[in-house]
């Protein structure tokens, strides 16, 4: 912690002593504990298979709740709860038109995130399948 404080403060004169650190040398996560918690919450929002399926469905175009229900096969109430979670966390946004709410992905970077996650999961499929520290989703249990 003290070393972080030493490296974070600029030297006298306000200019760094050497060249800027490479991106690999800089920490990727926020230094503050609440910043790391925020990033963890960001990923927890994606920790439900139904929410991931909804996100993938919404990547192509906007859809109504009814279309989302038909696509993932859950009740309208469950889909609405998942969409509300995704909207509250900033992944999707709703557009009201009459009696209908149309949902779409709020940020195009979400597509990159989903594709990168799929790629990493595929590359690590055996390790993820054998992982005993993360319990399986109870909804997926027989």
Please give the average per-residue pLDDT across 46-70, as a whole number. Answer: 95
pLDDT of 83-120, one tens digit each? 999 999 999 999 999 999 999 999 999 989 999 999 99
pLDDT of 130-140, one tens digit each? 888 877 665 55
Q: Does the pTM of the predicted model rise above 0.85?
A: no
Report phi then psi at 138, rounded to 5: -60, -30
- Taking the C-alpha atoms of 113, 115, 120 and 123 in order, what is their torsion angle to the nearest 10 degrees? 180
* Contacts of 11 by beta carbon, 8 Å cutoff, 6+ apart: 17
Q: Residue 66 in 3-state DSSP?
A: helix
Tokens in use for 90? 């900033």
């Amino acid at each position: 912690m003290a070393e972080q404080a030493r490296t974070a403060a600029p030297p006298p004169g306000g200019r760094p002593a050497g060249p800027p650190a490479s991106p690999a040398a800089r920490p990727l996560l926020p230094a503050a504990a609440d910043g790391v918690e925020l990033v963890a919450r960001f990923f927890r929002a994606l920790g439900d298979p139904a929410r991931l399926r909804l996100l993938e469905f919404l990547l192509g175009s906007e859809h109504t709740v009814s279309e989302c229900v038909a696509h993932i096969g859950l009740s309208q109430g469950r889909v609405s709860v998942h969409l509300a979670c995704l909207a509250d966390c900033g992944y999707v946004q709703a557009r009201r038109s009459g009696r209908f709410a149309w949902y779409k992905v709020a940020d195009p970077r979400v597509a990159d995130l989903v594709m990168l996650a799929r790629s990493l999961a595929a590359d690590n499929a055996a390790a993820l399948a054998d992982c005993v520290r993360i319990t399986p989703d109870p909804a997926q249990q027989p």
